[in-house]
Each structure stands twice: as structure tokens, then as C-alpha cells.
Amino acid sequence: MHRKRKVLLALATAALTITSITAAPAVAAPPTDSDRDFGNGPERNVVAAADPVAARRAAPVGENEVRTHQGYPRRTDLRTYPVDPTDTSTRLGLTPYHAIAPRLNALQDRSDRVSVEVVGHSGLGRDLYLVTLTAPERPAETRQQDAWRELIENDPVRAARDRRLERDYKAPVWINNNIHGNEWEGTDAALRQIEYLATTNDQRTTNLLRHSRIYFDITANPDGRVAGTRVNANGFDLNRDFVTNSQPESVAMRTEIIDTQPVLTLDEHGYVDGTLIEPTTPPHGQNYDFDLYIRHGYANGLGMEAAVKALGYPEAQDVVVPFRDWPPGEWDGWPPIFTAQYAMYHGAVSYTIEIPLQVNNDAYDTLPVEELRRRAAINTDVSEATMRTTLSYLGAHREELVDNQIEIFRRGAAGEPQRYIPDGFVPGFGPEDRFTTTFPRAYVVPAGATQRSAVAAARLVDHLVAHDVRVRQATRPFTLGGRAYPAGSYVVDMHQPKRGLANAMLEAGKDLSNDAPQMYDIAGWSHRLLWGASVDVVRNGQVRVPSFDVVAAAPTGGVEAAPDRDLALRVVDGKDASAVNDLLGRGLALRRLADGTVVVPAADRQAAREVADRYGVRFTAAPRGAQGSPLHRVTVAAAVAADELFALREMGFDVRPVSTATLNAGFDLSGVDVLVVSSGLRYDQLRPAAKARVDAVFARGGVVTRGATGSRFNADARLLPVTAVPGREDANGVVTVDNAAAAVLAGATPTSFVYSPQWFTDLGAGVRVEQRFGPGNPLVAGHWLPNADGSGGSNAAAGQAAVVSGASATGARVLMFGTEPLFRAHPKGLYAQVAAGIYWGATR
């Protein structure tokens, strides 16, 4: 493959002088098995999720006790954890999780530059530590620093003129470590740097601490660190969760980024041969003010490269800088699902760092301990070198970096267009790097009859606010963009400091199929199109709406029916399914109508009120005399990926994880109503007894399938007479769909999400098309090219059946998805499609 080359010129940093180079150095080829696997990796459709291992939940000793909370240092007596001999970091000679708290407690006692706070808890309840290094501050000084930080975001024009701020503001740096649990060494590098910064008398360092705050997230994924897994205890890759925030660890990191507002960010990873240091290849996110990122981003990137090479390790000489060394799409910076790309929207110059020597996966299991520890020691040195260099860069460029952040927020608040970046702006910048957008004037989330789902609208608004996007709620009716809106509607004025993040979440996105031959991960994610709420785009005009700032969305739940009427709930959102499952869990006798509406007896009105308040759903009067089919508490056996298991349980379904192995081992399916299959289950590999138990589910219940594994299961079990046609394996994004003939999916959204899409042809008798891909090119945003032989492209999918339903010869109600309605727990507006299939399959 042709490798894009960029010419290096001399770039100086404060930390070191970079010698003039006339040609790019030799670097490693783009990775085939690197830190960022495509999607969730091939295991997504192969390895079925299991329940998190409860035995991993270590009970701490005592409680965290905050000793001081005003000014700095902010000291916390951290609770400690019992020694865990199974902690996988021990084999590498690295710091096990249980040893971190005692080490931090000791450092707090030794130095008044160290503060430790517990900022959240992992999925298994382990403490998440944020360590701050800075010169001591009196409470009044801390209040002044907080005021300046808020001024930078809220009034950047005044901040730019504030000479005291320019002189005395402590520029924040945030260094994130161990977000992938089996990439351990960043934690140990951070602990070494913390100890050095806390105890050294070096004048440059003490001066740095007087003018900055350095924040370390010690281990962002402690459960993964202990278990030696990339993912957290729920099976999620946390470095794909930043605009979804389905996991407690990513919520904690989001809060840290917003609260610290860093000007520089490092996210320490492994492993890429030679070491990898961003900036990324194109495509770059189109909502950035990229000129304000790339100049500092490239300069410090080259500084880190030189520092790593200066360590002298032969294994760390062929450093990769993707922006300079690799072609478009090999290591792109498009989606804000990654730590570094997300932090950029909060005003940071951000980097992903990949240390060089693999010690995880097969290497962990097969290499001698001595070799593993040799590699881990080198990796720790490399990681620490990137930290030291970045802090040196901060020391030399503090005012410029603060001004950079102020300017990002100023442009957003003023609504200025992005700047044109000329070729050569930094060495190697060219047309392939130029990605921009035209920001709309506003987005409106309407209230009232035009809102598809009030609960979805509230969820979207709360999510935006949690990400520091500014939303206002109208106090009176208004007109905007030629449309009339009722009071209570929400307005996202795009003249705001973090407009880039607001637009990244709410815009449709872009079809990148012609911009790169492949993408590193997903290329479409629009919350506006996938989260179930109706959202209007206002392209231009003045935004003068009587309104107030939203802290939390207004309550949406209610019961709107006379006391003697049965109640109806349309299941158009995952929250609706949560409410239904809650009521079923109470033993209530519900009914399901042919259109999917769930009916609650009038006698259970109080229970309906309770779940309406809890989940924000709205009950209306059921049609008089409506009967429907009895609906009872549904038990689901699920051979699914971890994200799908999480989403099913998020909706309140009683889910029993299964796989080929567990079924062959005798798993009892006698109480199961519906089987969901997308990963780790092969009908043709079941033993006769297991096959008989599965066939019994077919005879009394339903089946929901997704993807290649689900389609093969359908074919092997001879359920529905269809042919599954695979799209290109890495195709992904937001697509248009047509639900005109839907029965089970009546009321589904007109857009959906795909990853490794499929469609269905050769439909036999009794098979119904629930959803078709849109006409022409159904891809709205993402990346979807055909295969080399011309098959599998988006044009081939146009108009084809994306979701089908029908009854098998044995009576099973079967719903088959060629789309991804639960992908990484992100497309909230699609959850109800799976819930509808489960309820339909469970009723007769």
C-alpha cells in the first residue's frame, strides 16, 4: 500500500532541539493487530458474553476519608484493598491495583504538592483515583483559579484581556492511563512521575508546579487491570464510549476532562512496534478548529518522538507519527469516541500514545516472566518520557496553550466560521487533511405533538448538558427557522464555546467513503438520528427565544387517562420497555395489542404512575374493549456480544447468557421464552440433547437474530426461508431505512445504524419485510465501500430488506436484523426494535 510521506522540517520545543531532517525516517508499516481493533474486534460475532465474575469484586478495607477539600493539597485517606495474588500486573513486575492506594497515601503524607481524590467507581466497585500535582494553594487562591477557568469558557473575550489570568492561571494538563486494562504500563509511569514531581527540588519543576496543575488518572480501568482484559467488567472498550458514556468509568473520565479543562492531554496505551505518537492520519474530525490544534499537536508530538528515541532502546527507535507516516484512514482522528479526540472538543491539544513492546494477550501467556518484565520496564520508560516531554512543552508554551484554548471557545461563542488552513501550515499538511463543516445556527428539540418521544428528548437533553453543551428551554411559544414551537421546547444555540462537540453529537455526519480506503473504527454516530428524539436543524437566523439554561430536562412521565380506563403504552423507546418490564416484574397481567402497544389494567394505575415517574414514559387511554395477547414476564436466553447483553439488561429484561458451550453443558432452557442470537452460538454444533432443548424454545416462543452469526443460526436451524447477503465487513454508519410495511417494528425511526451490514433476499412464503434500506445510497454518515469484486457496497444494499420477520415451520416467531440496533449501547432510539421483537416472540 502506498504510504503517505510528510517532509519533516526543524521544529523546536522547550524540552529539546529537534535536528533538521530532510526526509521522513523509516517507520513501521500500519498495524494489522494494534491497540485499536476494528469495531469490537472479530470476537463480537464469535464470543458470546457471560456474566461478570462476581469473585473479582474485592472488598476494600475501611472507607475513603477526605481530610481537606478546600485549596490544595486536597488529601484523602484512601481505603485499601486486600492483596490480590491474581492481579495480572504482578507477573509483569508492575504495580498491582491493591498497592496503589497505600503508595498514594504515603505520598500525600510526604508532600504538600500531592492531592488525591476518588472521582468514581468501576463496574465492580473499585475506586477511581485522580491525583493532582501543583504548588500549595490557599482556599482563596483555589477559588481564583476556578473563576479563571470558568472565565476562559464562559467569557473568552474578557479572559483574553485579563493580564492577571495570563500571568497567574495554572494551566491544566490531564494524563490518562490504563483505559485498556491489559495495557498496564502508563499507570506505573504516572506513579513514577507523581513521585518525582512531589519530591524533587529541581527549580524548573517547582516553577512548573507554581504555574500549572498536572492531573493523573492513575488507572481508568482497574477491573481490566486486575483481570488482564482490554475491556471493563461489563465487556466494554472504554476508549469507544466517550460520546455514549454507558459505563461508570467513562462517565468519571468525562467529568475529569470537563472539570479540569486541560490544555494538554495524554492517553497512554500499548502496543505498536516502535511506539506511536499522534497526531492522527486524516480524516480529522470536521468540527474542530484544527488550526488551533495541529501546530502545537505536531510540535510536541515530534518532541515526544525525540525523547523516546533518546532513551536509546533499539525497540523504540522506529517511532510512528501517523500524521506524518501513514495514509488516510490507518489511524484517523474522526470519531470523538476516543479519549484524545473527545478531549479536543474541550479545548485540549490531545494525544494517544502507544508504547512499543507487546506484553498482553498471547505474549502474556507465552513469554518468560523475565522477558515480560524487561519489556514492561522499557514500556514504562517510554510512557514516562512522553509525560516528561509534554510537561516540558507546557513549561515553555503555557501562555500560548492557554491562549489557544481561549481562542477555541471564543470562536465558538462568536459563531465564527472555521479558518482555512493552507497547505504546509505545518510540514506535510495538505488537501487530504482539510475537513471542515458549516455550523447550523441552532438545533431545536421540540415539545408537544411533533416530538416523537418525550422521554428520548429528555434523555438527549440531559446527555448534552452532561457533556457541557449548553441547552436552553423556552418559557413561551416561539418561531425559529420558519417553524413554530411550543413553550417547553429545547434550543441548542450553536453560538457557544463548545460548539464543536455540540455539532459532533447533533449533526448527521459525513459519508467518508471517498475520503479514505478504510477507517480505523466507526465513522457515524449521530445522536440526533439514533437516539430516538425529534430534532430540527435551524440553518440561519437570529436566536431570540425567551428561555432559561437547562440543568436537567423537565420530567416527562405521566398518566393521561380517566381513572376507569385501561392504560396504553406504545413501546417506541428503550425506556418504554424498561417500564413494561418493571410492571411485568411486579406480576401484573398486561396485554399486547397487534400493533405492539402494551395495555395496563385500570386497576394497576398506581403502579403505572410509579413507573411513569421512574422512567419518564407516558401512558394514554387504551382503546375501549382492547383485548390483545397476555404478556408475562419474559425470560431471554441470549448468545450475544457484551454490549448487547448490557443493553438488554438496561431495558430490564431477565437475560440468561448462553453459548454453544453452555448449551452443550446442559443449560436449562425450560423457562426461556425468547432466544436472542448474535454471537457464540452455532446450531450445527449443538449436541442432540441441547438441540432438542433449543427446538423446544422454537415450539413455544420466539427468536431474534442479528448479524452473520444470527443469520447462520437461522439457516442451520431452518427457521425462516431467506438468504443473508453480507455487506463489506468494516462498513459502518448511519443509514436511512423504510418502515412502510412494518408490523413488529411499527413506529420505528427512519434511520438506523449498521456495522458489517447484511440484507435478506430470496424471501420465502410468510416472510415479511419489516424494514428496508433506503433507496439510492442509504448511507447518511459513515464509511461503506464495496468489496474488491464490487459486492457488498451501499448501493447494492439500497432498497433491500434490512429486517425481516416470520413464523418458522415449528411455530417460532423470528425477527432477523441486518442492522445493529444495540451497538455498544449507543443507538438508544433503536433499542425498542429489539424489545418489540422479544415481546412479539413471547406472545401468542
What is the 3-state secondary structure of 29-85?
A: CCCCCCCCCCCCCHHHHCCCCCCCCHHHCCCCECCCEECCCCCECCCEECCECCCCC
pLDDT at 51: 81
pLDDT at 427 (0 to 100)? 97
Amino acid at 668: D
pLDDT at 9 over 50: no
Residue listed under C-alpha cell 431505512: 737
Sign of CA dihedral 753, 755, 761, 765: negative
* High-pLDDT (> 70) share of the chain, %: 93
Task: For residue 535, give the 3-state DSSP assignment.
Answer: coil
pLDDT at 587 over 80: yes
Give the Cα separation of 419 and 435 in Å (integer). Answer: 11
pLDDT band at 28 (very low <50, low <70, confident <90, very high): low
For 501, the grid coordinates are 462537540
pLDDT band for position 55 (50/70/90)?
very low
Does residue 797 surpass a pLDDT of 60?
yes
The predicted-structure confidence for 216-252, as pLDDT tens digits, reads as follows 999 999 999 999 999 999 999 999 999 999 999 999 9
Interval 599-657: pLDDT, tens: 999 999 999 999 999 999 999 999 998 889 999 999 999 999 999 999 999 999 999 99
Task: In whole angstroms, give the CA distance from residue 536 to residue 501.
Answer: 17
Residue with cell 459525513: 510
pLDDT of residue 112: 97
Mean pLDDT of 454-464: 98
Average predicted confidence (pLDDT) for the chain: 94
- Output b/e per residue, 138-175; b: 16+ Cβ within 10 A: eeeebebbeebbebbbebbeebbebeebbeebbbbbbb
Please give the angle made by the CA atoms of 59, 60 and 66, to the nearest 5 degrees.
150
Strand, coil or helix: what is 372?
helix
Q: What is the 3-state secondary structure (H, E, C) of 188-217?
A: HHHHHHHHHHHHCCCHHHHHHHHCEEEEEE
Whether 15 has a pLDDT exceeding 50, the answer reads no
Report, as an integer, the average pLDDT of 455-479.
98
Q: How far apart are CA 230 and CA 251, in angstroms?
A: 18
- Cα-atom radius of gyration of the chain, to the nearest Å? 27
- The answer on pLDDT for 530 being more than 60 is yes
Q: What is the per-residue pLDDT across 657-677, written as a single tens digit (0 to 9) for each? A: 999 999 999 999 999 999 999
pLDDT of residue 38: 45
How does 810-827 read in b/e, with b if 16+ C-beta sit within 10 Å? eebbbbbbbbbbbbbbbb
Say what the pLDDT of residue 43 is. 65
Q: For a pLDDT cut of 90, what percent of the chain falls above it?
A: 91
CB atoms within 10 A of CB 195: 16
pLDDT at 688 over 60: yes
Q: Cell 491525583, residue?
A: 131
For helices 100-110 and 185-199, the axis angle rounded to 10 degrees is 10
Q: Which three cell numbers stand for residue 657?
A: 447468557
Compute the distance between CA of residue 447 and CA of residue 402 in angstroms, rounded to an integer: 39
Rounded CA-CA distance 74/116 in Å is 6
User: pLDDT tens across 275-303, in order?
Assistant: 999 999 999 999 999 999 999 999 999 99
> Per-residue pLDDT for 720 more than 60?
yes
* DSSP for residue 88: G
Q: What is the pLDDT of residues 350-362, one digit of tens each?
A: 999 999 999 999 9
**Averaged pLDDT, 313-334:** 98
Q: Nine-digit cell at 609?
A: 404512575
pLDDT digits (tens, 9 = 90+) for 755-793: 999 999 999 999 999 999 999 999 999 999 999 999 999
Residue 36: which pLDDT band, with cuts at 50, 70 and 90? very low
Q: Report pLDDT for 69.
A: 65
pLDDT-based confidence at residue 29 (cuts at 50, 70, 90): low
Query: All 3 cell numbers of residue 123?
Result: 463496574
Question: What is the model's pLDDT at position 31?
Answer: 53
